[in-house]
Amino acid sequence: MLEALSFFSNSLIASALLSVAVAIIGSLMLVNRYNYLAAAIAHGSYGGIGLAIYFGLPILLGATLFALILALVLAYITLKESRHDILISLLWAVGMSVGIIFVDLTPGYHTDLLAYLFGDILMVPSTDLIYMGAVDLLLVLFITLFYHHLLAIAYDREFAILRGVRVGFLHTTTLLMVALTIVMSIRSIGLILVIALFSVPPYIAEKFTSSFRSMMMLSGIIALGLFVLGLWIAYLFDISASASIILCAGALFLITYHKGRR
Amino acid sequence: MPSVAVDIRHLSFRYDEEYVLEDITAQIYDREYIAIIGPNGGGKSTLLKLILGLLRPTKGEILIYGQPPEKKRTIIGYLPQNINFNLDIPLTAKTIILQGRLSRNKLFYDPQDYEALESVAHKLKISHLLHTKISHLSGGERQKVLLARALVTEPKLLVLDEPTASVDLGAQKEIYAILKELDMTKIVVSHDINIILEGVDRVFYINRKLFIHDNIELKITPREGHFCEMELFEELKRSCDA
């Protein structure tokens, strides 16, 4: 048991750090209906990975810069363009295509690419944990400072504008935070699976809570539970940990689907 | 002569090529109670959004107490149409009402905000609902919460967009009674034409153009307490033209 715990130590720390991000950003994504935008950032970020591999830069740096630029473009599009759905889909696909092309252009064979698409929480390096911790700190600071303004925007954007809330600034900052959160999850969960992980716990928590604070708390607890359960099942059956975690999330979603609906 | 609260000067507005409002001029005086009625798509809600500064006029201008709406937002209380809210967010009535106390640089609530909340909730008789999740409230209760959010801002001008839409008759009467008591400038857009029976000072009938009816004593009378929409619109147009 101790041997297993030591093997899982980085994974468990990553799980705890990711749970904090799920609690804050997952909940904000859900109440603002940003899941499609987040999926576009997640998939589009592959462009940053491709560019980083081609230019020999650290993957985390390439993905971070690319995801942040993508988030800024998406923020602008969603604030200014009426037909933003088409542009979002386009950015999603263009980002991925950039990644694929630059990986193709890079000499040699890159076996670790699948790890960025589907992740492997068992292989999270310690440097990533520092990055995750730093992003978590930013998220906690962001939600603490702007809690009331973010809620006002989520409930009634027009009223928030009338009260002088900086809707454009907070919309953009939230998307930048989403971008950072996605990048911090790349190595653990992967670009393809990350949206499920960030959607399911807040969706379940939303139905069983009566305040946004408690929704965030419960989301974090559910996410941590899913990580631990998924890792345990992966250990028992020797299967992919990320996929196991996402399947646990899917199962929990189905179990609670009809519960607690308003 | 009371001061002018809302000064609308040769206002036109168009979405794309089509004019929704055309050359509207009107003045709303301090502490007046105005009802804006008219058919769907006639430009009622557009006019409200222009007054709030959420839309910019294509031509003409609007002044709120002598200044552009963007500069006077802090004195405007607003109750929007109850259609686009995300009711799944776990928020209590208290959280929503307090949002009326937010401002650009105010990130946290202070004791005065809670006092204002208690006072408004008491006035609207919704103190018992403060800790209830918004999705668990009835349509009428939800409208009272939104009215409380508008009033907690301590406005000089109250703007209401369909305050009685999708609420039962009892709640409608209650909301109209509350509005009647409020001592401030009030502009109510309503699909419910019978609002003109509820003590408003003037009626603005809008269907792209504006017809102002100064005298509520119309030549037609309500049957069983209700106006027939067509009859009323015809009568308003006729009397305004005259």
Structure-token pair, residue A231 = 């890792």
- The shortest CB-CB distance from A212 to any of B89, B105, B107 is to B89
| Cβ pair A33:B86 closer than 8 A | yes
| Cβ pair B89:A31 closer than 8 A | yes
Closest Cα of chain B to A170: distance in Å? 12
Give me the CATH code for the A2-256 domain, please. 1.10.3470.10
What pLDDT is attached to residue B201?
85
Chain A contact present for B74, CB below 8 A: yes
Neighbours of B48 (CB within 10 A): 22
Domain locations in chain A?
2-256
User: What number of C-beta contacts closer than 8 Å exist between A and B?
Assistant: 87
| Cβ pair A31:B78 closer than 8 A | no
- The shortest CB-CB distance from A262 to any of B87, B98, B109 is to B87
Taking CB atoms and an 8 Å cutoff, what residues of chain A touch B104? 163-166
What pLDDT is attached to residue B213?
62
Neighbours of A109 (CB within 10 A): 7
CATH T-level assignment (fold) for domain B4-241: Rossmann fold (3.40.50)
Determine the residue of chain B that is closest to A32 in CA distance. B86
User: In the predicted model, is pLDDT for residue A124 greater than 60?
Assistant: yes
Choose between B104 and A140: higher pLDDT. A140
Round to whole Å and give the CA distance between B87 and B134: 7
Structure-token pair, residue A159 = 């009223």
Choose between A127 and B82: higher pLDDT. A127
What pLDDT is attached to residue A189?
87
User: In the predicted model, is pLDDT for residue A199 greater than 90?
Assistant: yes
* Cβ B167 vs Cβ B183: under 8 Å: no
B51 Cβ contact list (under 8 Å, min separation 6):
B6, B8, B62, B64, B69, B159, B187
Amino acid in position B81: Q
Q: Return the residue in A169, A210, A214 with the most chain B beta carbons within 10 A, the one to mutate for interface testing.
A: A210
Chain B contact present for A216, CB below 8 A: no
Matching residue, tokens 């919704």: B126
- Report the C-alpha dihedral over residues B78, B84, B89, B94, rounded to 10 degrees: 20
Closest Cα of chain B to A217: distance in Å? 13
Q: Which of residues 164-193 of A touch B (CB under 8 A)?
A: 164-166
A249 Cβ contact list (under 8 Å, min separation 6):
A196, A197, A200, A201, A226, A230
pLDDT band at A84 (very low <50, low <70, confident <90, very high): confident
Structure-token pair, residue B31 = 């502490």
pLDDT in tens, A234-262: 989 999 888 899 999 999 999 998 775 54
| Cβ pair A151:B95 closer than 8 A | yes
State which residues of chain B have pLDDT below 50.
Answer: none
Lowest mean pLDDT across A207-216, A228-237, B215-224: B215-224
Q: Please list the residues that pair with B15 across neighbouring strands.
A: B18
Round to whole Å and give the CA distance between B205 and B231: 13
Would you call A67 exposed, middle or buried from its count of C-beta atoms within 10 A (0-12, 13-18, 19+)? Answer: buried
Taking CB atoms and an 8 Å cutoff, what residues of chain B touch A167? none
Q: What is the mean pLDDT of chain A?
A: 90
Q: Return the residue in B52, B75, B98, B99 with the most chain A beta carbons within 10 A, the one to mutate for interface testing.
A: B99
Closest Cα of chain B to A32: distance in Å? 9
pTM for the full predicted model? 0.88
- The percentage of chain A sitting over the pLDDT mark of 70, rounded to a whole number, equals 94
Once rounded to an integer, what is the mean pLDDT over residues A104-121?
Answer: 78
Structure-token pair, residue A238 = 């020797």
| Cβ pair B92:A155 closer than 8 A | no
Chain A contact present for B94, CB below 8 A: no
Structure-token pair, residue A30 = 């859900």
pLDDT in tens, A32-58: 999 999 999 999 999 999 999 999 999
What pLDDT is attached to residue B109?
95
**φ/ψ (deg, to 5) at B105:** -105, 10
Cα separation values, A86 from A36, A178, A219, B233, Å: 12, 20, 31, 42
Amino acid in position B35: A
Domain locations in chain B?
4-241
* Cβ A32 vs Cβ B89: under 8 Å: no
C-alpha of B55 from chain center:
16
Helix pair A212-237, A194-208: axis angle to 10 deg: 130
A38 Cβ contact list (under 8 Å, min separation 6):
A29, A178, A182, A195, A198
A52-56: Cβ within 8 A, 24+ apart = A53/A102, A53/A103, A53/A106, A53/A110, A54/A102, A54/A103, A54/A105, A54/A106
